[in-house]
Amino acid sequence: MSMLKIEGVHTFYGNIEALRGIDMEVNEGEIVTLIGANGAGKTTLLMTCCGAPQASKGRILFEGQDISRMPTHEICHLGIQQSPEGRRIFPRMSVYENLQMGASTQDPKYFDQDLEMVFDLFPRLKERITQRAGTMSGGEQQMLAIGRALMGRPRLLLLDEPSLGIAPLVVKQIFETIKQINREKKVTVFLVEQNAFHALKLAHRGYVMVNGNITLSGTGAELLANPEVRAAYLEGGH
Amino acid sequence: MSAFLTSSRISGAEIAKELAFFAVIALMMSVMILGVETVDRPTGLELAVRWDLVLTAIVSTMIGRLALIMRRENMSRIGQAVLITLAAIAVFEMFVRFRELDDRWAHPVILDMASSSITSVIVALAFIGIIFTIAYFSKKTAVAEADTAPKLGAKIQLAYRSNTKKIGALGIAFFVIFPFLFGENRSAIDLATLVMIYIMLGWGLNIVVGLAGLLDLGYVAFYAVGAYSYALLSQNFDLSFWLCLPLAGIFAASFGIILGFPVLRLRGDYLAIVTLGFGEIIRVILINWYDLTGGPDGISSIERPSFFGFADFSRRVPEGNIGFNELFGLEYSSMHRLIFLYYLILVLALVTSFVTTRLRKLPIGRAWEALREDEIACRSLGINPTNTKLSAFAIGAMFGGFAGAFFATRQGFISPESFTFLESAVILAIVVLGGMGSQIGVVLAAIVMIGFPEMFRELAEYRMLIFGAGMVAIMLWRPRGLLSFRDPTILLNMSTKDKVAGEVK
């Protein structure tokens, strides 16, 4: 069944219409990616799912429940967690404290078990446990952001450009881990990316966004082979 | 410029340009401060222009700057020392003239002063000698300092951060035995009590500003609410201090929530302006609601606290009560009450500190800190920013209210004048100066901000000069506050020392 269903969503920033009627869905157990150029509205769509900003038209259903009018912090309690654009970790708090913050919606009894799970996925974080998060490298910060989201025991994980400003080798590693999270931890992933090649290779299905509209959709392999996608997002790159 | 000044790196013209620039700055700074003074003449007040002072200021600036240029360019050390000595003499001359002299074009005063007796000649020569020596030999040590200073700073930081608990315990022990050390010295106890009030206010505001990161410029409003709640409850309903203390805290906390609601959406500068307004609103209400608060006349003869309701501190004990001295078989002394008040505020302050450190380790405290770091991230992790902010405002305000009730009972008289914006600014300065979120920092800052100016009252307006210079120095060298380190609340399998040592490197 579809876990997240977006129906005709319009979102405005003041007078600017950033999303012009989006329809898409994420099924349980999938990795779905959304690719597009700068300013296409990818992040806006992801944030609209979290209720900041709220959609002015249309509905967003999470497991059948309409969440488009709920405040952000309540949406998180339903089992949606995100690693926001630019990571937004708490720079002056330690890695451990950041992970504690991630678990704030959860019963403390799961904490130790979840912490171990995150450290299994990202052994680097365990080494840095008492370090100030802001002093870590970009890749480590991204790992922390994903780990922090996982501490909230999500069923749906929203990832906004996890490859942003990170060394290619580390990007590969992070994408591997995302795959592992999806397969082993049974977490559904909705991934917003500019790095179309990596994202489409990883994803089960993908959507392409241009100027606030979804223009193409299909499986990851289909989109990778699509000449339009190749011309717009892949050529000249990898 | 003479030839000896020109080096390979800088030409005479450049030096002249730089000197001219500083002469203009000196002129601009001195002309209004030193150059114009009011003179009391039979015909009334008149403005007199003191060009001699302005001239001395400019000359001493130029000489001093020239010395600094030479130092920068590594030129003749003797020359530097001579110039620095000359500049110092000129500055001294300027001060003496400013204080003593009305005649505008008199001979240099210090010549007369120095040659007036043998002792003064010796003093003057010693003065010149000392300055000259310092100027001559300071170059080497300055270079050496630049090498060792960061290391020394790191060492101090390491020592402080790995022994925070011990330092805290030592500090508490000192404040506990303080009355035994200065038991008979009334002004010392008074001063310590005053400092302690500000420490408590600083700790209370620290919750709002330091932990939750909400810049509150109207904190004094809660202090006022606490003070007036106690004063009014005790006067109108004859309630005792011990009953009113928690009530004052509750009133202040509810005002904190009232303030919190409208400002929830504001951040940074905008929040500061609204809280500033709130502080003023409370003060203006206190002035104008004459029937309730007595307006500008304030409330006088507020009841003093008893010894937990068992005994009384006054000389003539009312019927049916027992005096504190009788209870303990002591001779009557007015100091008993003061020392009791001191311990009362000490306990209140320690409670504040204890609660704050406990809260920091609880989810709510960590949510405050996370909110300060990144509100959007907090929201997306499922933290309700509304409740988090309101709780910070309420708890911070509650401690302000406790401090206010204590202030009212200690003074015995309160009026709106005690709760001006200046108080808010001082409390905020204590928090910022101490280093946001640092408990010991607040204590240090309160001693520096409140204790020192009171202790050096004899220095009159000069203490404000020193105070200003101190603030500038702190801005330059410790822009994030005296103790501006934030340590994690939890460390796993690692001592603080190792952790800090790793970070300081």
3-state secondary structure B116-135: CCHHHHHHHHHHHHHHHHHH
Q: Provide, as residue numbers in chain A, all residues whose Cβ is less than 8 Å from the Cβ of B363.
A: 100, 104
Alpha carbons B382 and A79: distance in angstroms, whole number: 10
Complex ipTM value: 0.87
Beta strands in A141-201 (DSSP E): 156-160, 188-193
Contact (CB<8Å) A96/B486: no
Compute the 3-state secondary structure of chain A and give helix, strand, coil in percent, each to the nearest 5.
Answer: 40, 30, 30
Residue pair B449/B198 in contact by the 8 Å Cβ criterion: yes
Residue A88 has a pLDDT of: 92
Residues paired with residue A209 on neighbouring β-strands, in sequence order: A36, A214
Q: Provide, as residue numbers in chain A, all residues whose Cβ is less than 8 Å from the Cβ of B503.
A: 131-132, 135
Residue B493 has a pLDDT of: 52
Contact (CB<8Å) B366/A82: no
Residue B377 contacts A, CB cutoff 8 Å? yes
Could you tell me the sign of the dihedral formed by the alpha carbons of B3, B5, B8, B13, in that order? negative
Within 451-490 of B, beta carbons closer than 8 Å to A belong to: 486, 488-490
Compute the 3-state secondary structure of chain B and give helix, strand, coil in percent, each to the nearest 5.
Answer: 75, 5, 25
CA B192 to chain CA centroid, Å, is 15
Q: List the structure tokens of B146.
A: 């630049």
Contact (CB<8Å) B381/A129: no
Residue pair B489/B360 in contact by the 8 Å Cβ criterion: yes
Which residues are CB-neighbours of A211 under 8 A, at least 6 positions away?
A20, A40, A41
Alpha carbons A192 and A86: distance in angstroms, whole number: 12
> What type of residue is B351?
V
Query: Following CA atoms B414, B417, B419, B422 in sequence, which dihedral angle do they give, to the nearest 10 degrees?
Result: -150
| Residue B463 pLDDT exceeds 90 | no
Residue A102 contacts B, CB cutoff 8 Å? yes
For strands A31-36 and A57-62, give the pairing. unpaired
Alpha carbons A142 and B335: distance in angstroms, whole number: 62
B25-55 confidence digits (pLDDT tens): 989 888 887 778 777 778 888 887 888 888 8
Q: Which residue of B has its CA nearest to A88?
A: B377
A64-98 confidence digits (pLDDT tens): 999 999 999 999 999 999 999 889 999 988 999 99
Q: Where are the domains of chain A?
A: 2-79+154-234, 89-153
| Residue B476 pLDDT exceeds 90 | no
- Walk me through the domains of chain B, giving residue ranges and CATH numbers: 3-140 (no CATH), 160-504 (1.10.3470)
Query: Residue A33 — pLDDT band, cuts 50, 70, 90?
Result: very high
> Which pTM value belongs to this model?
0.77
Question: Of B142, B131, B136, which is closest to residue B85 (Cα–Cα)?
Answer: B131
Q: How many CA atoms lie within 13 A of B257 on its CB side?
A: 9
B165-220 confidence digits (pLDDT tens): 888 899 999 999 988 888 778 888 999 999 999 999 999 999 999 889 899 999 99
Q: Which of A101, A116, A160 to mutate to test the interface with B (most CBs of B within 10 A)?
A: A101
Query: Residue A16 — pLDDT band, cuts 50, 70, 90?
Result: very high
Q: List the structure tokens of A131.
A: 């370090």
Alpha carbons B277 and A25: distance in angstroms, whole number: 49
A37-67 confidence digits (pLDDT tens): 888 999 999 999 999 889 999 999 999 999 9
Contact (CB<8Å) A92/B494: no
Q: Which residue of A has its CA nearest to B491?
A: A130
What φ, ψ does residue B440 adopt, rounded to 5°? -70, -35
Q: List the structure tokens of B463.
A: 């203490």
> What type of residue is B362?
L
Q: How many CA atoms lie within 13 A of B62 on its CB side?
A: 16
Which residues are CB-neighbours of B253 under 8 A, at least 6 positions away?
B394, B395, B397, B398, B401
Q: Provide, as residue numbers in chain A, all residues whose Cβ is less than 8 Å from the Cβ of B494.
A: 130
Q: List the structure tokens of B186.
A: 């009334």
Q: Provide, as residue numbers in chain A, all residues whose Cβ is less than 8 Å from the Cβ of B378.
A: 101
Query: Following CA atoms B158, B160, B165, B167 in sequence, which dihedral angle do they give, to the nearest 10 degrees?
Result: 150
Q: Each residue of B382-408: b (16+ CB within 10 Å) or e?
A: bbbbeebbbbbbbbbbbbbbbbbbbbb
Calculate what percentage of chain B has a pLDDT beyond 90. 33
* Overall size of chain B counted in residues: 505
Residue B505 has a pLDDT of: 41
Q: List the structure tokens of B504.
A: 């300081």
CA B316 to chain CA centroid, Å, is 39
B321-366 confidence digits (pLDDT tens): 777 777 777 777 778 888 889 999 999 999 999 999 999 888 899 9
The structural architecture, per CATH, of the domain A2-79+154-234 is 3-Layer(aba) Sandwich (3.40)
Residue B250 has a pLDDT of: 96
